[in-house]
Amino acid sequence: MQKHITVISRRRLLGVLGTAALAGNVWDRSTAAEEISYIDVHTHPGPFWHEQGIKELTLDDFLRWMDRNNVERSCVLAHVSPEGRVIPIPPVDTLRAARRHPDRLIPFTSVDPRADFGKVQDLVGMLKWYEDQGAKGFGEHKPGLPIDHPLCFRVYEACEMVGLPLLLHMDGRCNTDSPGLPGLRRVLQNFPTLNLIAHGPLWWASISASVASDAYPKGKVAPGGAVDTLMDAFPNLYADLSAGSGANGISRDRKFGRDFLIRRADKLMFGSDYLRPNQVVSQFELLPSFELPVDVRRKIYRDNAIRLLKL
Ligand SMILES: [Zn+2]
């Protein structure tokens, strides 16, 4: 039965366990049956560019998707850098969406580091205004610049001063870095009280000490990757488990992945990167399949987001 449980869906899992309980099988309600609702820290409702045309993930469709998947609340991220998304999602849109659904949606704000916002102190004033409007975080920070570019340092400095956690995407084009992530290390060294939420192919490939050029590397993880060494060194470093990169990072070597989820339970957050209707989000099957202890699931599924974002 254990083997079967690892491959069936969460809803079916609950049904199977209920049947087992009725049949008198011994199972631990506290760890197996408790359904914990998610807080999704990484989503993008709104219009998007698809095969040379504009489509839209409407708020109504998005809320229905949340209901179907037991997602209680979602962070709606702004997207303002041209390299990150063809059709930008400005912060006014995320704030407006959250005003319409204050019990379900949590708005993030963002500013492209190349924008002419004047001095860092001026950006601090702007971010405080966004915070007054309801913004709980900054991101998705995804400019086509090195992660330790001086312009990005101005953004990090302002976010640190305001106290907004910053969610960033790392790949070969946006927030670029070298193997071992020395640029990210410099950011963390310079801004020790800025809470950073890392995500993206380059970040998750760095879970292994042997980083190939492949953005979605498969196979065994070599211990001692930059993800672990930086998380050991910097308590202000977090990560979200969203997108294909997050799923690949924890599933390519399931033994390592499960140990990592438990070892970093205070630093990881559930995320989907849901951005278009009918998008497959493998995390809904993958995370329950690890059969994590209930306290670990609570932290990753929702409690870390509540703590970090002050919800
Ligand atoms: Zn995203």
Query: Quick one: 22 and 119 in the same domain?
Result: no
Query: Quick one: 7 and 104 in the same domain?
Result: no
Query: Quick one: 138 and 167 in the same domain?
Result: yes
C-alpha dihedral sign at 132, 310, 287, 253: positive
pLDDT of 8: 36
The domain tally of the chain equals 2
Query: Quick one: 142 and 95 in the same domain?
Result: yes
**Residue 246 sits in which domain range?**
36-309
Query: Quick one: 25 and 42 in the same domain?
Result: no
Task: Name the percent of the chain in helix, strand, coil, to the closest 5.
Answer: 40, 15, 40
Query: Quick one: 70 and 83 in the same domain?
Result: yes
Query: Quick one: 132 and 188 in the same domain?
Result: yes
**Interval between CA 134 and ligand 1 midpoint (Å):** 20
pLDDT of the chain along its 311 residues, tens only?
333 333 334 444 444 343 333 333 333 444 444 689 999 999 999 999 888 789 999 999 999 999 999 999 999 999 999 998 889 999 999 999 999 999 999 999 999 999 998 999 999 999 999 999 999 999 999 999 999 999 999 999 999 999 999 999 999 999 999 999 999 999 999 999 999 999 999 999 999 998 766 678 999 999 999 999 999 999 999 999 999 999 999 999 999 999 999 999 999 999 999 999 999 999 999 999 999 999 999 999 999 999 999 99
In whole angstroms, what is the distance from residue 305 CA to residue 301 CA?
8
**Interval between CA 42 and ligand 1 midpoint (Å):** 6
Q: Kindly report the CA angle at 140 between 135 and 145, in degrees rounded to 5? A: 130
CA dihedral 125, 126, 129, 133 (to 10 degrees): -160
**Interval between CA 242 and ligand 1 midpoint (Å):** 8
Note whether 86 and 119 are within 8 A (CB): no
Q: Chain-centre distance of CA 197, in angstroms?
A: 7
CA dihedral 250, 256, 258, 260 (to 10 degrees): -80
Query: Quick one: 200 and 271 in the same domain?
Result: yes
**Interval between CA 125 and ligand 1 midpoint (Å):** 26
Note whether 268 and 236 are within 8 A (CB): no
Query: Quick one: 26 and 127 in the same domain?
Result: no
pLDDT of 28: 43
**Interval between CA 154 and ligand 1 midpoint (Å):** 22
Conformational region of residue 78, where left means phi above 0, alpha means psi within -120 to 50, and beta covers everything else = beta
**Interval between CA 112 and ligand 1 midpoint (Å):** 15
Query: Quick one: 273 and 131 in the same domain?
Result: yes
**Interval between CA 133 and ligand 1 midpoint (Å):** 22
Instruction: Spell out the residues 6+ positions from residue 81 whose beta carbon is closer than 8 angstroms to its own.
Output: 88, 110, 112, 141, 142, 143, 144, 174
Tell which residue, 161, 4, 168, 199, has the closest CA to residue 79.
168
Query: Quick one: 128 and 8 in the same domain?
Result: no
In whole angstroms, what is the distance from residue 268 CA to residue 285 CA?
17
pLDDT of 226: 97
Residue type, 46: G
Query: Quick one: 97 and 22 in the same domain?
Result: no
pLDDT of 34: 67
Instruction: Spell out the residues 6+ positions from residue 5 whose beta carbon is closer than 8 angstroms to its own.
Output: 13, 16, 17, 291
pLDDT of 52: 79
pLDDT of 24: 35
Q: What is the CATH number of the domain that holds 191?
A: 3.20.20.140
Note whether 73 and 39 are within 8 A (CB): yes
**Interval between CA 44 and ligand 1 midpoint (Å):** 7
In whole angstroms, what is the distance from residue 163 CA to residue 194 CA?
7
